[in-house]
Structure 1
Amino acid sequence: ALMFLQDTELENLQPGRIDIDGDNIFALVQKYTTKDITEGKWEAHRKYLDIQYMVHGSESFGFVNIDYLEPTEEYNDEKDIEFLKGEGDFLQLNDEEFAIVFPSDAHMPGIAVEEKNEVFKIVIKVKL
């Protein structure tokens, strides 16, 4: 997964899915506008860990152990996602920085740091 980030001309990628090793490892290329924290949702995954790599831009990225949160919806096995509510910590994810999110972690990506801005991010999903 990290070799993909190192060996790929990231600037040339268009939004969408890129298979690296089929469903075992794949990249989701994303371009979006960050949002206000009131629009954010805590999410967690059970089958995959995330490597969230910021190509360009800056966002506030929430993280917390799922044991400190309460589910708001049932886990969706097909999409490997569960939404939760509660409080967590935030870090700032900037150009060429990444965060690794394990199934024991919930995360809230895409939050504006001060003002909304455009980001270019690649999320690599690694099956466990």
Structure 2
Amino acid sequence: MIVDQIENKDLYSNLNPNIKKALDYLAETDFSETEAGKYEIAGENIFALVSEYKTKDLSQGKPESHKNYIDVQFVYSGEEFIGYAPLGNQKIVEPYNETNDITFYDCDQSLCLVQKKMFAVFFPTDIHMPGIRITNPVLVKKVVVKVKVI
């Protein structure tokens, strides 16, 4: 897991060329008028999912992980906690769904504050639970760039 300000994206440019493309896309795109939906960056290898939602209570969160994609989650506006735990022997509550590339868990996590113009990178070895309210529910506009594991 990586959490940082988008202005520091160049610190991670050597991790993976597709993560670099994802971070460049997030830094260079004005999402103020972008509607919710899917946006191709490099076909199914790199694409963005734009969404708007209200943050939820911790008890409503569903810890998840992915096998085939790395999540680069960018908070364009608002703020939220994202739960995190390294993947290990956590209890699986919904087995891997190949169509949606997702497994759900029941596990303890650390909460990480992600505010406006910050990003978080979650690898297949990272369980994460986005969209958790800090105090009161707030509206968040988020862009999740899915980067195919090569």
* Structure 1 length-normalised TM: 0.97
CA positional deviation for 1:69: 1.7
Which residue, out of 67, 80, 84, partners 2:88? 67
Greater shift after overlay, 65-74 or 111-120? 65-74
Asked if the contact 1:51–1:124 (Cα under 8 Å) also holds between the matched residues in 2, the reply is yes
Aligned equivalent of 1:19: 40
Which residue, out of 71, 95, 111, partners 1:50? 71
Structure 1, unaligned runs of 5 or more = none
Distance in 2, matches of 1:89 and 1:64, equals 7
Distance in 2, matches of 1:63 and 1:127, equals 20
Q: Which runs of 4+ in 1 moved over 4 A?
A: none
* Cα 1:68–1:94 shift into 2, 3 Å: farther
Asked if the contact 1:54–1:96 (Cα under 8 Å) also holds between the matched residues in 2, the reply is yes
Pair 1:83 & 2:83 matched: no
Provide the aligned C-alpha RMSD in A: 0.8
Distance in 2, matches of 1:99 and 1:3, equals 14
Aligned equivalent of 1:5: 26
Distance in 2, matches of 1:78 and 1:62, equals 24
Aligned equivalent of 1:120: 141
Asked if the contact 1:68–1:86 (Cα under 8 Å) also holds between the matched residues in 2, the reply is no
Aligned equivalent of 1:109: 130
Asked if the contact 1:17–1:27 (Cα under 8 Å) also holds between the matched residues in 2, the reply is yes
Distance in 2, matches of 1:68 and 1:101, equals 18
CA positional deviation for 1:9: 1.6
Per-residue CA distance 1:73-126 (angstroms, 9 max, x = gap): 110011100000110101111000011000000000000001111001100000
Structure 2, unaligned runs of 5 or more = 1-21
